[in-house]
Amino acid sequence: MTDNDTPNGVGRVLGTEHTSTREFRVVLDDAEYLQLDDLVVVRTQVPKQGEVRTYGIVTEVAAIYEGASFESDTHRIAVDGTLPGAKVRSAEIAITRVDPELWVSPDPGEKVERARGAEREKALYVDEMGRPLPIGLGRDGEPVFVDLDFFDGRKGGHMSISGISGVATKTSFALFFLRLLAARPDVLGEGAANLRILVFNVKGEDLLWLDKGNRYFDQTAADAWQTLGVAPGPFPSVSFWAPPRAQSGDVVIPDTGGRQEGVDAFTWTPREFIEDGLLRFLFTDATDSRNQIPFIEERVRAQLRRYAVDVEGRPGAVVLRDPIEGHAPGAAVVPNPGERVITDLRTLVSAVEEFVDPEDGEPDQRWTGRVQAGTVSAFVRRLHSASHRLGHLVRAGDSRRIDRMAAQVTVVAIQSLHDLGQRFVVGALLAETFAEKEQTGQRLPLSVIVLDELNKYAPREGNSPLKEMLIDIAQRGRSLGVLLVGAQQTASRVASEVMENAAIRVAGRLDAAEAERSEYGWMLPSTRARARLLKPGTMVLSQPSLPVPLVVEFPFPPWATRKEEVDTSATDPFAGL
C-alpha cells in the first residue's frame, strides 16, 4: 500500500499501538523501506500550538503476514494463495528530538518522512552543536557529528573507547578521531594552535608507521574521507621514541624491530629521575598500597631531593651528601675518594639501600620513618626488581628526555618493556604533561593523551600513584586542557572515577556478558544486542548532545599500520586520489 505523496515519505505512524514521547512504530509503504539507524521526522498538528516536528531514529525493523493465524498459514498466503493476507513491514522509532520542545506524542496515521538535509541535521542536533566535527558516516553515507565542546574541555572532556581486542579497532578509531581533529582547525578553533598529541604504543609496532602511506588505501576509502571534509593522508607531523636496548652499552640504540630510521631513544638521567620524583612510579602495583611501602617511598623521594648533588664533569650524575656538609646549593661537586657516584638506576638503588637498610640492621629513620625492618626490606627488594627490569631507562649523560614539542604527534613505543617499565614510562610522561599545564594554569594549548589498556593503568580495585594520576587527569584535566582518550577491552575493569568523567563514549564489538554490565547503560537495549555483532570499523557513539547512541562507520586509514603496508611506490601515494 502506498498513499504517502511526499517526496521523502516512507509510511505512517502505526495506529494499533499507543505512541509515546519516547517511541512509536511506523507501518511502511509497499514501495519504501527503513533500515537500522535511518532518521525520520513526523509533523503533528497540536491543538492551540500548531505544527510540532518529532524526530527519531530506527532501532528495529519487522515484518509479518497480516491475516495469518497459524504458522502453516504462511504457505497458504505466500505459495498457494488460498488464504487472503497482506505483508506488513514496520519499524520501531526511538524519539531523539521534538521541535519546538513541546513533548507530545505523534498522532497515529501521521505521515512519516526520511529526515534529509536540514531535517537530518535537526534530528542529530547539529544545529545546536557549538563546533560539530564529523566523526564517521551513518548508514545513509552522510557524516555523523560530535560536539567538540564536550571533548576539549569547554563543556566536558575525554573519550572512552571499549571493545574486544583485535575486533573492536579501538586504537584505529582513536587515531581516526585525532586525524580529523588535527585536520580541521576550522572546527577546533583556537585549540588547533600548538595542539599536541601523546600516543603510547603498547602492543606490537602498529603505531610506528603513522607518517607512511598505506599501500592498500583505495579510491573508495578516499571518497569517504572527502565526505568527512578531510583530504586523506598520513599524519603530517610525527616524532617516534622508544626505550634503549637493555644491553646496548654506551651506545644508545632504540629498542624497535621493524623500524629504526626516524626513531629516537629516550632515557632519564639520575638527576631528572630525582627532581621529577619518578621514584613513585616504580611502585605502581596496586597491591603495594596495602602496606607501608608508599609511606617509605614518599620519605625516600623527599630525602633524595634533599641529598642529591650534581657531579662536576658528569652531566646527569649525582652523589648523595648530607646538606649539613656545607656545599653551595645547586653547585656541582667533585666526588670524594670512595664516594659512590650515581650514574644509573642500579647505583641509585645501591645508594638508597645504604641509607634505608644499613649493615647494622637499623634503618635510618631520617629516610624511612618509624617502620618495621621487614617492610624496609620489602621496599628494597622492589627497588632491586625495578632496577633489573627497567634500569636501562635511567643513565647519566646528556639529556634524552622525550621532546613533546618536536612534532604535533608524539608516539612513545613501550611495547618491548616489562609491565612495570610500561607503567613507569606512562606515569612519568603523564606527570610531566600535567605538571606543565598546572604551572601555566591555562587550558590552551591542548594536550591529548591516547592510552590503550587503560584497565592496566587505572584498575577498578586497589590504589597506585599512576591510578591517582589518571583519576586526577579525568577529574581536573579538562579545565587544564589535558584530555584523555582511553581504550580498554572491558570498561567494567577501569576505575569508575575515570569512566564517569568521559563525556564521549564509544564502543566496538563487545563480549555478550560485558555488554550487559551497568557501564554500558548509555546504550539502548537494541544497541547492546547489536554491539555483540559489530564488524571492525563500526562503532557505537554516545555524546551529551544526543539522547540516544548512534552507530557510525569510519573509513580505512590512509596511514600504514605495519611495515608490510607501507606504500613505497611513490613519494606521494595520495597524489592520484
First CA to last CA distance, the chain:
45
pLDDT-derived band at 32 (thresholds 50, 70, 90) equals very high
| 3-class DSSP state of 88 | strand
Mean pLDDT, range 189-218, rounded to an integer: 94
- CA-based angle 137:57:14, to the nearest 5? 150
For 409-444, b where at least 16 C-beta lie within 10 A, e where not — what string?
bbbbbbbbbeebbbbbbbbbbbbbbbeebeeeeebb
C-alpha cell at 458: 587505572
Q: What is the C-alpha to C-alpha distance for residues 400 and 243, in angstroms, rounded to an integer?
A: 10
Mean pLDDT, range 30-51, rounded to an integer: 96
pLDDT-derived band at 258 (thresholds 50, 70, 90) equals confident
In the CATH hierarchy, which fold is given to the domain comprising 132-252+404-565? Rossmann fold (3.40.50)
User: Phi-psi category of 463—alpha, beta or left, where left has phi over 0 and alpha has psi -120 to 50?
Assistant: beta
Q: What is the C-alpha to C-alpha distance for residues 380 and 398, in angstroms, rounded to an integer?
A: 28
At residue 519, the pLDDT reads: 93
Residue 31: how many other CB atoms lie within 10 Å:
9
Q: What is the C-alpha to C-alpha distance for residues 40 and 88, in angstroms, rounded to an integer?
A: 19
Mean pLDDT, range 116-138, rounded to an integer: 95
| 3-class DSSP state of 551 | strand
Question: Would you say 283 and 298 are in contact if contact means Cβ atoms under 8 Å apart?
Answer: no
Tell me the one-letter amino acid at 160: S
* Residue 144 neighbours by CB under 8 Å, 6+ apart: 124, 134, 135, 136, 137, 138, 541, 550, 552
C-alpha cell at 509: 564489538
* Residue 376 neighbours by CB under 8 Å, 6+ apart: 296, 356, 357, 363, 368
pLDDT tens readout for residues 550-567: 999 999 999 999 999 999
At residue 569, the pLDDT reads: 79
Backbone phi, then psi, for 470, in 5-degree steps?
Answer: -65, -35
Beta strands in 431-566 (DSSP E): 447-451, 482-488, 504-507, 538-542, 550-553
Backbone phi, then psi, for 272, in 5-degree steps?
Answer: -65, -40
For the cut 80, the answer to whether the pLDDT of residue 130 exceeds it is yes
pLDDT-derived band at 574 (thresholds 50, 70, 90) equals very low
Q: What is the C-alpha to C-alpha distance for residues 426 and 57, in angstroms, rounded to an integer?
A: 41
Question: Would you say 426 and 466 are in contact if contact means Cβ atoms under 8 Å apart?
Answer: yes
Question: pTM of the entire structure?
Answer: 0.91
Query: How is 293-320 classified by DSSP, letter by letter?
Result: HHHHHHHHHHHHHHHEEEETTEEEEEEE
Q: What is the C-alpha to C-alpha distance for residues 393 and 266, in angstroms, rounded to an integer?
A: 7
pLDDT-derived band at 82 (thresholds 50, 70, 90) equals confident
* Residue 13 neighbours by CB under 8 Å, 6+ apart: 19, 24, 25, 26, 42, 106, 107, 108, 109, 110, 112
Residues of the chain with pLDDT > 70, as a percent, come to 94
Q: What is the C-alpha to C-alpha distance for residues 368 and 378, in angstroms, rounded to an integer?
A: 12
At residue 6, the pLDDT reads: 75
| Domain spans in the chain, listed from the N-terminal domain onward | 9-123, 132-252+404-565, 270-393
For the cut 80, the answer to whether the pLDDT of residue 3 exceeds it is no
> Which residues make beta-bridge pairs with 320?
308
Lowest mean pLDDT among 151-160, 206-215, 235-244, 252-261: 252-261
pLDDT-derived band at 577 (thresholds 50, 70, 90) equals very low
Mean pLDDT for all residues in the chain? 91
Q: What is the C-alpha to C-alpha distance for residues 499 and 474, in angstroms, rounded to an integer?
A: 8
Question: Would you say 574 and 213 are in contact if contact means Cβ atoms under 8 Å apart?
Answer: yes
pLDDT-derived band at 1 (thresholds 50, 70, 90) equals low
At residue 573, the pLDDT reads: 45
Mean pLDDT, range 351-364, rounded to an integer: 76
For 198-219, b where at least 16 C-beta lie within 10 A, e where not — what string?
bbbbbeebbbbbbbbbbeebee
Question: Would you say 199 and 411 are in contact if contact means Cβ atoms under 8 Å apart?
Answer: yes
Question: Would you say 394 and 345 are in contact if contact means Cβ atoms under 8 Å apart?
Answer: yes
> Which residues make beta-bridge pairs with 265?
242
* Higher pLDDT, residue 199 or 250: 199
C-alpha cell at 48: 492551540
14-23 long-range contacts, CB within 8 A, separation 24+: 14/90, 14/108, 15/108, 15/109, 18/105, 19/105, 19/106, 19/107, 19/108, 20/105, 21/95, 21/98, 21/103, 21/104, 21/105, 22/94, 22/95, 23/56, 23/59, 23/92, 23/93, 23/94, 23/95
Residue 75: how many other CB atoms lie within 10 Å:
12
Q: What is the C-alpha to C-alpha distance for residues 551 and 508, in angstroms, rounded to an integer?
A: 10
pLDDT tens readout for residues 436-453: 999 998 999 999 999 999
* Residue 322 neighbours by CB under 8 Å, 6+ apart: 307
Burial of 568: CB neighbours in 10 Å, binned 0-12, 13-18, 19+: exposed
At residue 328, the pLDDT reads: 65
pLDDT-derived band at 2 (thresholds 50, 70, 90) equals low
472-477 long-range contacts, CB within 8 A, separation 24+: 472/434, 473/430, 473/434, 473/449, 474/158, 474/498, 474/500, 474/501, 474/502, 475/501, 477/153, 477/157, 477/158, 477/434
Question: Would you say 397 and 425 are in contact if contact means Cβ atoms under 8 Å apart?
Answer: no
* Residue 353 neighbours by CB under 8 Å, 6+ apart: 380, 383
Question: Would you say 268 and 391 are in contact if contact means Cβ atoms under 8 Å apart?
Answer: no
C-alpha cell at 3: 498513499
Tell me the one-letter amino acid at 332: A
Helix, strand and coil content of the chain, in percent to the nearest 5, comes to 35, 25, 40
